[in-house]
Amino acid sequence: MIQGLQSIAFENSPYIVESASVVGKKEGEGPLGSMFDMVEENDLFGEDTWEAAESTMQKQACVLALGKAHMEAGEIRYLFGGDLLRQGVATSMGVEELNIPMFGLYGACSTSGEAIALASMSVAAGYGDNMLAVTSSHFGSAEKEFRFPLGYANQRPLSAHWTVTGSGAFVVGTKRSHVRVTGITVGKIVDYGLKDSQNMGACMAPAACDTILRNLEDFGRTPDDYNRIVTGDLGYVGQSILFDLMRGKNVDIKKNHMDCGMTIYDQKTQDTHAGGSGCGCAAVTLSSYILPKLARGEWKRILFVPTGALMSTVSFNEGESVPGIAHGIVLEHC
Amino acid sequence: MIQGLQSIAFENSPYIVESASVVGKKEGEGPLGSMFDMVEENDLFGEDTWEAAESTMQKQACVLALGKAHMEAGEIRYLFGGDLLRQGVATSMGVEELNIPMFGLYGACSTSGEAIALASMSVAAGYGDNMLAVTSSHFGSAEKEFRFPLGYANQRPLSAHWTVTGSGAFVVGTKRSHVRVTGITVGKIVDYGLKDSQNMGACMAPAACDTILRNLEDFGRTPDDYNRIVTGDLGYVGQSILFDLMRGKNVDIKKNHMDCGMTIYDQKTQDTHAGGSGCGCAAVTLSSYILPKLARGEWKRILFVPTGALMSTVSFNEGESVPGIAHGIVLEHC
């Protein structure tokens, strides 16, 4: 069960029973557009505020995932969820109506990994047949939370990310599907002392490197044992730093690395600078693009490593650095 | 293992191996003053900002708990932690140096229950011999986060709570002690539509009621099966509402109810209005006052129910209600 220093190898690996992705207009216009379960043309999702929009989007993702799994909310034993907003209000207000006992999480953009890890740990331990893992982010609410309200129309540096408007929900359970969570590697906080919150790829790359190396060591694997090593939202800047850091450890992941933040938008036409980011970025890419490939057997085994930058406007303004964290999830075709 | 609708009864109940409490000056002057492991006379804990002070306090609580347990940080497999600040920065910056793989949590003032629940679930499942659960709150950082900076010297209504400056850390593990976590009841979000963030006792009482009733039903118990039913920080206002709600369900917990927010300060002399609150309130009261009574066998079994109010300044200003959540932890002398 315990695998190496930071990992768990599940004896009875839980399944990703079903999942759902709900995104905004811009994501719908990107390369993965046709793969999402639902694209909302109005980014307010029928609400009055960005925060309420994010909550509604997250609830829609949960309801869709449950529907695809032919389950009622009452069949889910525990929900693990989080978002980027202060005090996780998008999740609190989003999942409230589902009336499922819940654990609120915060792992910045690594939260989808954290939620799937805890859901898998709970299913594998026999604490229930079905858990729900959900995360979300919204461009409007995230810009307001971390940078400037959209109305300011501020300029963004090229190293900045574009927060994905999207929510991914995952039913993790004992019911057979074609994708299993066979192991997890829980990440540590890694701090290289970087202080530029507009260059989150650089802040998160060291954590991604740490978790990937730890996963390979804990499970006795090489990068070739994975069809893809998928980071969450390092983007173009973070990816090149990750490659440099890995090269320093004599590990080459160049040929099978993929980053959700570089996959979800077309950098040339969508003006998204360093790439997509946010709790929703890795979650909706996993649900719409990665899980189907695993289910079809195109990929046999991947390492999913969503990455988070740990900061707030207060910590940033007080001169604190921006440490990173990344959690690793091993997903296998079955 | 699964117990009723929302609970888990552990087959191999984990132990609270050790714990530690670190508090500020005002808490040290209160009724529990002599019971805390450490009282810091300067609420800045030697730092320049309230946020850094909270992080330092949280780190001190972790280091103290590890020291009392004669453990190195490397012996802890996973850390479960959270605080009240936006994006949980007090925890990120606080536990970073410990270098323990970590899960960041947000459950408002219920986070100590959430952390101990997940730590216990992980130990009982065999995912590691020792986990660390930690939470903190700080009067200075919380007032700034949720209300006004202290320098404004604003007036507070009598229904307002006084956020506890304190951090409690708990080593949950397989090593024998005199207190075990025998079960948990995971809470749901309960929303009675209240919108007054200066009356959090009223906002949280319905969630406390829901979790207590669910716990009694799931385990087939009556209030008499617990020496105490301990809520986190309902305070004087919330307690009377809880009693009313319970009476409506024909359950009387008056004679064995205790609230940490009403225990930690002397309301008459310390001008703390409705009582103490914050992630640290229930945590330091549990560590300093409740666990010793359980260890000595004065109490045989208690239900610990920290309560959280789910809100942010943004959700409040946008007119959202303040729902509550409460997690139940069954602690027994052994």
Instruction: List phi, psi (to 5°) of B73.
Output: -55, -35
Of the candidates B181, B88, B3, B185, the one whose C-alpha atom is nearest the C-alpha of residue A114 is B88
Q: Do A186 and B103 count as a contact with CB atoms less than 8 A apart?
A: yes
8-state DSSP, B150: G
Chain A's closest residue to B95, CA to CA, is A189
Beta-carbon pairs below 8 A across chains A and B: 181
Of the candidates B264, B265, B260, the one whose C-alpha atom is nearest the C-alpha of residue B232 is B260
Q: What radius of gyration do chain A's Cα atoms show?
A: 18
Would you call A186 an interface residue with chain B, using a CB distance cutoff of 8 Å? Answer: yes
Q: For A311-325, what is each residue's pLDDT tens digit?
A: 999 999 999 999 999
Would you call A17 an interface residue with chain B, using a CB distance cutoff of 8 Å? Answer: no
Q: Which residues contact A23 (CB under 8 A, 6 or more apart)?
A: A36, A38, A39, A40, A164, A165, A166, A167, A280, A284
Point out the residue among B105, B107, B189 whose CB comes nearest to the CB of A96: B189
Residue A89 to chain B, least CA–CA distance (Å): 6
Q: What is the pLDDT of residue A10?
A: 98
Of the candidates A286, A190, A283, A280, the one whose C-alpha atom is nearest the C-alpha of residue A238 is A190
Given a cut of 90, is residue B149 above it in pLDDT?
A: no
Residue A206 to chain B, least CA–CA distance (Å): 14
| Separation CA A34–CA A32 (nearest Å) | 6
- Sort out which chain B residues have CB atoms less than 8 A from A12's CB and list them: none
CB-hemisphere CA count at 13 Å for A298? 9
Tokens of A144: 């307001």
Which residues of A, range 125-184, sit inside 8 Å of B by Cβ?
125-128, 144-145
Q: Which of B54, B56, B77, B89 to mutate to test the interface with A (most CBs of A within 10 A)?
A: B89
Q: Do A51 and B314 count as a contact with CB atoms less than 8 A apart?
A: yes
Would you call A102 an interface residue with chain B, using a CB distance cutoff of 8 Å? Answer: yes
Point out the residue among A86, A121, A314 whose CB comes nearest to the CB of B314: A86
Q: Assess if CATH 3.40.47.40 describes domain B179-333.
A: yes
Given a cut of 90, is residue B197 above it in pLDDT?
A: no
Q: By percentage, how much of chain A surpasses pLDDT 70?
A: 100
The chain-wide mean pLDDT, for chain A, equals 97
Q: Do B127 and A2 count as a contact with CB atoms less than 8 A apart?
A: yes
How big is the CA angle at A271 (ends A268 and A272), to the nearest 5 degrees? Answer: 105
Site of tokens 């899980």:
A291
Q: Do A315 and B89 count as a contact with CB atoms less than 8 A apart?
A: yes
Return the beta strands (E) in chain B as ranges.
Answer: 2-3, 7-9, 15-23, 38-39, 78-83, 102-104, 130-137, 162-163, 166-173, 179-185, 228-231, 257-259, 276-277, 301-305, 307-309, 324-326, 328-333
* Residue ranges, CATH 3.40.47.40, chain A: 2-173, 179-333
C-beta of residue A232 within 8 angstroms of C-beta of residue A112:
yes
Which residues of B, range 240-269, sit inside 8 Å of A by Cβ?
none
Tokens of A97: 């109506």
Q: Do A186 and B78 count as a contact with CB atoms less than 8 A apart?
A: yes
Q: Do B102 and A188 count as a contact with CB atoms less than 8 A apart?
A: yes
C-beta of residue B178 within 8 angstroms of C-beta of residue B297:
yes
Rounded to two decimals, the ipTM of the complex is 0.98
| Separation CA A210–CA A164 (nearest Å) | 25
Q: What radius of gyration do chain B's Cα atoms show?
A: 18
Residue A269 to chain B, least CA–CA distance (Å): 32
Residue A257 to chain B, least CA–CA distance (Å): 23
Given a cut of 90, is residue A154 above it in pLDDT?
A: no
Would you call A77 an interface residue with chain B, using a CB distance cutoff of 8 Å? Answer: yes
Chain A's closest residue to B128, CA to CA, is A2
Of the candidates A168, A182, A177, A173, the one whose C-alpha atom is nearest the C-alpha of residue A288 is A168
Q: What is the pLDDT of residue B298?
A: 98
Would you call A80 an interface residue with chain B, using a CB distance cutoff of 8 Å? Answer: no
Region A218-233: mean pLDDT is: 98
Q: Do A311 and B89 count as a contact with CB atoms less than 8 A apart?
A: yes
Given a cut of 90, is residue A149 above it in pLDDT?
A: no
Distances (CA, A) of B225 to A206, A265, B186, B332: 51, 58, 19, 11
Q: What is the pLDDT of residue A153?
A: 87
Residue B77 to chain A, least CA–CA distance (Å): 7
Chain A's closest residue to B114, CA to CA, is A103
The helix or strand, by DSSP H or E, that contains position B111, with its residue range, turns out to be helix B111-124
Q: Do B100 and A188 count as a contact with CB atoms less than 8 A apart?
A: yes
| Separation CA B262–CA B273 (nearest Å) | 10
8-state DSSP, B46: T
Q: For A232-257, what is each residue's pLDDT tens digit?
A: 999 999 999 999 999 999 999 999 99
C-beta of residue A280 within 8 angstroms of C-beta of residue A164:
yes
Q: Do B128 and A2 count as a contact with CB atoms less than 8 A apart?
A: yes
CATH ID of B2-173, from 3.30.565.10, 1.10.3720.10, 3.40.47.40, 3.40.50.300 = 3.40.47.40
Of the candidates A6, A185, A328, A284, the one whose C-alpha atom is nearest the C-alpha of residue B99 is A6
| Separation CA A86–CA A291 (nearest Å) | 30
Residue A124 to chain B, least CA–CA distance (Å): 9
Q: Which residues pair with B331 in a beta bridge?
A: B181, B302
C-beta of residue B133 within 8 angstroms of C-beta of residue B183:
no
Distances (CA, A) of B49 to A315, A317, B24: 10, 11, 15
Q: Which of A1, A47, A87, A215 to mutate to test the interface with B (most CBs of B within 10 A)?
A: A87
Mapped onto helix, strand or coil, the DSSP state of residue B147 is coil
Residue A58 to chain B, least CA–CA distance (Å): 15
| Separation CA B112–CA B84 (nearest Å) | 11
Q: For B5-45, what is each residue's pLDDT tens digit?
A: 999 999 999 999 999 999 999 999 999 999 999 999 999 99
Q: For A26-72, what is each residue's pLDDT tens digit?
A: 999 999 999 999 999 999 999 999 999 999 999 999 999 999 999 99
Q: For B89-108, what is each residue's pLDDT tens digit?
A: 999 999 999 999 999 999 99
Q: Do A107 and B103 count as a contact with CB atoms less than 8 A apart?
A: yes
Q: For A158-216, what is each residue's pLDDT tens digit?
A: 999 999 999 999 999 999 999 999 999 999 999 999 999 889 999 999 999 999 999 99
| H-state helical runs in chain A | 25-28, 50-68, 89-95, 111-124, 139-146, 200-219, 235-248, 260-263, 267-270, 279-285, 291-296, 313-317
Residue A34 to chain B, least CA–CA distance (Å): 33
How sure is the predictor about B155, in pLDDT bands with cuts at 50, 70 and 90? confident
Chain A's closest residue to B210, CA to CA, is A101
Q: DSSP readout, B247-282?
A: HHTT---GGGEEEHHHHSS-HHHH--TT-EESHHHH
Q: What is the pLDDT of residue B3?
A: 97
Tokens of A232: 């969450």
